Chain A
Amino acid sequence: MQQLLTTTLTGLVLGAVYAAFALALVMIWRSTRVVNFAQAPMAMLTTYIALVIIEAGHSFWLGFVAALLAGLVLGAVVERVLVRPVEGKGDLNAVILTLGLFIVLHSVAALVFGSRYRSFPAPFGVRGIEVGGTTVALTGFGIFTILAVVVVMGLLVLLFRFTDVGLRMRASAHSPEVARLLGVRVGRMLTLGWALAAVVGSLAGLLIAGGGLVHPGYMDAVVVYGFVAAVLGGLDSPGGAVAGGVLLGLCLSFVSGYLGSELVAMAALLILVAVLLVKPSGLFATTAHRRV
């Protein structure tokens, strides 16, 4: 019974992290139709920035905010300098570009911060909460992780659905020509989309790092599972990303606990293929699939 509960709670927190990462991918996909493989190392870099600040003796939350701001700037810079020239030129070039950036950021982090393991603090403690004498496998930081992801998803939905900026961002993504005719500064909207996505990505990085170990490759597994989660949910839908993330987190936790940890990746593949064979555009695709 306790094993079941532990496995479920673990999967839930893990799923929240995948969801946060998937949200970042979805935002970039919505704004520029690019899958950003460099999301993970970008988040890794900003997490290191937080770590440097925290290790210098400042508070965790100062580092936290600094990492998010660094993400904002990094996202905007990457879009402006690197992604802009390949936008609209097809997936593959952008994919390769972000893969190149992936490798570069990895090396830069290893050169600047060294490649040894470092521990990343977690506020609210790392012990499970006690309920009626037994420990429940959920830490304060775990609860914070879940709440943070829910809040971010809510904010994104609000942004896209109910604000002017959100509307302009959506217009820029879906039909840049028309948007331009209507006076939307499309370029700025795309930059904003990347910047916001990088903030969400940085948040995911911090949530994964909290209470765990950090090294230049600590986000690598999340690249795959976060992407799978985003695809599961349908790349267009923030709600889908969260649902996909939580679904994946739970499934993988159960596979790991009851079947074997080496089968986790295979399970992710099977879940993904099974879902996509039934719904080729993911569970929660909001737009009809565009045939290309």
Chain B
Amino acid sequence: MPALRPRLGSSPLLRHLLVALVGGAVALAVLTAVDDFRAGQLAAMAYLGIAAAGLTVLTGLNGQLSLGHGAFMAIGAYTAALFLGDVEPAAPLAVVLLAATAVASLVGLVVGLAAARLHGPYLAGATLALAVAVPGLAIYFGDTLGGEQGLSVRVPEPPAWFADLLFFLTAVDPSRGRFVAYLSWFVLIVVLVLLANLSQSRVGRTWRAVRDHEVAAELAGISLTRARVVAFVVSAATAGLAGALMAMVVRLTAPSGFTLTLSLTLLTAVVLGGLGSLAGALIGAALLTFLPQVVTGIGSDLGLDDVQSAELAPLVYGVVMILVILLAPAGLVGTLQGWRLRRRAAAGPAAPAVPATARPSDPTRPSDPTRPSDPTHPTHPTHPTDKAGRA
């Protein structure tokens, strides 16, 4: 372990940046190649992915279960919508995105302070109520927030340098929708890099220590409340940023866009991909974006009527959720990694893939023995107190 750290771990930033660069190039290529409709879908996938990444950090790394992250997306979206309303000239995009992030962080701070005292189902109950409560405020303050009809969002024109650059690269003038897709993916990659670094930093180790062993963490001088609140704020900020992008993709921010379904969708994305894994969050977001349309299409092809094929999408979606939990409880990424580890373990003694110890008492962690605690962290059977001790 000490031998490995310097080589792989000394410059995680560099490694993450390299992966991000490659990812960015792929995203650019794909976004350029696909038609406008797919670009729109990819934009949706990007904001879902951002929010899911924030949630996976909270739930996977810090062990706090939130059923209400849709509320933070709503807060980000409404902040952005207030900036991007009919007021001309609209504020610079960076300002809008930062403002949405900041407002969501503030609310996240308040909620996080309360949440830090709650555990397991009690936290789930509180966040569930949050998800349902926030959209009601938009109706109560209808004069400012547009009520049930919502606030329409003017998608900003792409800045000239961006349009020129893109035209230089692809010979196509980006439509506004496509510009938002590029923007969303850019933000997604930035967020993933930041979160990946954060989770490998001292802060991330603190979060894991708090998740795995409160007492040990406390003994090591970690403030449990502080660690939990910081994790909550980071997660809420991420969701707020995602909400701002969502407002631009949807072109409208209305209470009916932030039903409980949205919050549960995020959680589903996180679990489908693999709890605690950023790559998993992205995969989950992709599944949720593309699956319904494909299934509805199949339904129509099978000769079902419109209503039946529309109902088929949630049916298949639900069945997939159940099957993943039953057959691959560590999520898609976790299962793949476990499978790879097992294969390597079988190949030779060089790779000591000893299963992590199961902790059935931990409410948020499946005890699948093959499941690594998270992808950015060595799967060594490090005892939790080790980590806490080092942190």
Contact = CB atoms under 8 A, between A and B. Distances in A.
B136 A107 contact: no
Contacts of A290: 361
B271 A92 contact: yes
Given A224-B129, A228-B128, A231-B122, A273 B363 contact: no
Given A89-B367, A90-B367, A115-B307, A276 B126 contact: yes
Contacts of B267: 95-96, 99
Contacts of B268: 96, 99-100
Contacts of A265: 129, 132-133, 135-136
B117 A90 contact: no
A143 interface: no
Contacts of A266: 133-134, 136-137, 140
Contact of A92 (B114, B133, B311, B366): B366
A90 B331 CA distance: 14
Interface string B263-294: 01001100100010000000000000000000
B129 A262 contact: no
Contacts of B365: 90, 92
Contacts of A231: 121-122, 125-126
A75 B59 CA distance: 29
A91 interface: yes
A249 B364 CA distance: 30
* Interface size band for A: 35 or more
Interface size class of B (residues with CB under 8 A): 35 or more
Nearest to B68: A269
Contact of B360 (A90, A106, A111, A115): A90
Contacts of B119: 280, 289, 291-292
Interface of A is mostly: helix
Contact of B318 (A91, A93, A107, A281): A107
A111 B318 contact: no
A90 B321 contact: no
A243 interface: no
B140 A262 contact: yes
A91 B364 contact: yes
Contacts of B362: 90, 292
Contact of A269 (B133, B314, B329): B133
B186 interface: no
A102 B121 contact: no
B354 interface: no
Given A92-B363, A273-B114, A100 B319 contact: yes
B160 to A, nearest CB: 43
B165 interface: no
A65 interface: no
Interface in B91-138: 114, 117-122, 124-126, 128-130, 132-137
Of B59, B133, B267, most A-chain CB atoms within 10 Å: B133
Interface string A93-126: 1011101111110111011000100000000000
B315 A104 contact: yes
B329 A93 contact: yes
26 contacts: A88-B367, A91-B65, A92-B364, A93-B366, A95-B124, A97-B325, A97-B326, A100-B318, A100-B319, A100-B322, A100-B325, A103-B315, A103-B318, A104-B314, A107-B318, A111-B311, A231-B121, A263-B140, A266-B133, A268-B129, A272-B129, A273-B129, A276-B118, A277-B117, A280-B122, A292-B120
Question: 7 nearest interchain CB pairs?
Answer: A100-B321, A103-B318, A231-B125, A104-B318, A107-B315, A269-B129, A100-B322
